[in-house]
Chains A and B, each alone.
Chain A
Amino acid sequence: NAGVTQTPKFQVLKTGQSMTLQCAQDMNHNSMYWYRQDPGMGLRLIYYSASEGTTDKGEVPNGYNVSRLNKREFSLRLESAAPSQTSVYFCATLLIRGSYSNQPQHFGDGTRLSIL
C-alpha cells in the first residue's frame, strides 16, 4: 500500500535552477494538494486540483506552477528557485472535495528542498 508517494525525498538547488516535485497516489482520490511547511507557519496551501483536469491557486502560489497529469499524478514546478522557497513540501489527496469535507486528507512523507 504505497498511498501517496513523493519524489525526490531531498533536493538541494542553486538559486535560479528549476525543479519538478512529483506526487503519485494509488488511492483513486479525486482531489490533490500541494502544501509547504515552514517553521512556525504550519501547512500552507500552494495549489490544489479538485479533480482531474482542474487546478487552482491556494494561499501561497507565487513562484510555483502545477500540472495534474492524470488522476494519479500531480506535479509541482519551481521555474526559478529562490532561497525563500526552501521548505518541506507535502502532497496530499482527498477522496472528494466539497462543502462537506469530512474525509481526512492523506499525506505523502514530504520533499525537503533547500535553495542555496
Chain B
Amino acid sequence: DQQVKQNSPSLSVQEGRISILNCDYTNSMFDYFLWYKKYPAEGPTFLISISSIKDKNEDGRFTVFLNKSAKHLSLHIVPSQPGDSAVYFCAASGDDKIIFGKGTRLHILP
C-alpha cells in the first residue's frame, strides 16, 4: 500500500506562472513532511519541510501547505523559473519511518 502518493507523474507550467505539486498520505502518525528536488544524474536535495502542527511554511519562492484533515500537502512555486525543471519528491516522516512518493516531473516551458 502506498502511504505517500503523488498522483501526477508530470506537470508542465509556463515560465513565470505558479507551479502546484500535490501529495497525499494515509498514515496519521507522520509528523513531518519534506519536499526534495532532483536533477538528472544527481541525488535528491532538500527543498522545504513542514511540521504537522503547522499549515503553511514559506521559503522564498517556495511554499508548502498542509491540510491535515484531508491528509494532503502541496508545494507552490511562484514564479516558476527554468531551473525549477526537475523531479520533485514528497516525503513523510514519523512512526519511525521515512516514506517517499513516486515523484512528479516538473517541466517549465519558456
When distances are taken between beta carbons in the complex, the residues of chain A under 8 Å from B96 are 97-99
* A105 and B31 within 8 A (CB): no
B42 touching A109, Cβ below 8 Å:
yes
Binds B, one of A40-48, A60-68, A78-86: A40-48
* Best-buried of A4, A35, A107, A109 by chain B (most CB within 10 Å): A107
Dominant secondary structure at the B interface: strand
Given contacts A41-B102, A109-B41, contact A102 B51 (CB under 8 A): yes
A90 at interface, CB cutoff 8 A: yes
Chain B residues lying within 8 Å of A106, measured Cβ to Cβ, are: 46
**Contact assessment for B100 and A42 in the assembled complex, using a CB-CB cutoff below 8 Å:** yes
B49 close to A107 (CB less than 8 A): no
Instruction: Give A93-114 as 1s and 0s: 1 = Cβ < 8 Å from B's Cβ atoms.
Output: 0100111111011111110000
B80-110: which residues lie under 8 A (CB-CB) from chain A? 89, 93-96, 98, 100-103
Contact status A102-B32, CB under 8 Å? yes
Residues in A with CB closer than 8 Å to B64 are none
Q: Are B43 and A108 in contact (CB under 8 A)?
A: yes
Q: Contacts A108-B43, A109-B41: A99 and B98 contacting too (C-beta < 8 A)? A: no
Shortest beta-carbon contacts, A-B, top 5: A107-B43, A104-B46, A42-B102, A101-B93, A43-B100
List 28 interface pairs A-B (beta carbons < 8 Å), by A numbering. A4-B43, A33-B98, A35-B100, A40-B102, A41-B102, A42-B6, A42-B102, A43-B100, A98-B96, A99-B31, A99-B94, A100-B94, A101-B93, A101-B98, A102-B31, A102-B49, A102-B51, A102-B93, A104-B46, A104-B49, A105-B46, A105-B98, A106-B46, A107-B45, A109-B42, A110-B41, A110-B42, A110-B43
Q: List residues of A whose CB falls within 8 A of some B CB.
A: 4, 33, 35, 40-45, 90, 92, 94, 97-102, 104-110
Query: Could you tell me which B residues sit within 8 Å of A by CB distance?
Result: 6, 9, 31-32, 34, 36, 41-46, 49, 51, 89, 93-96, 98, 100-103
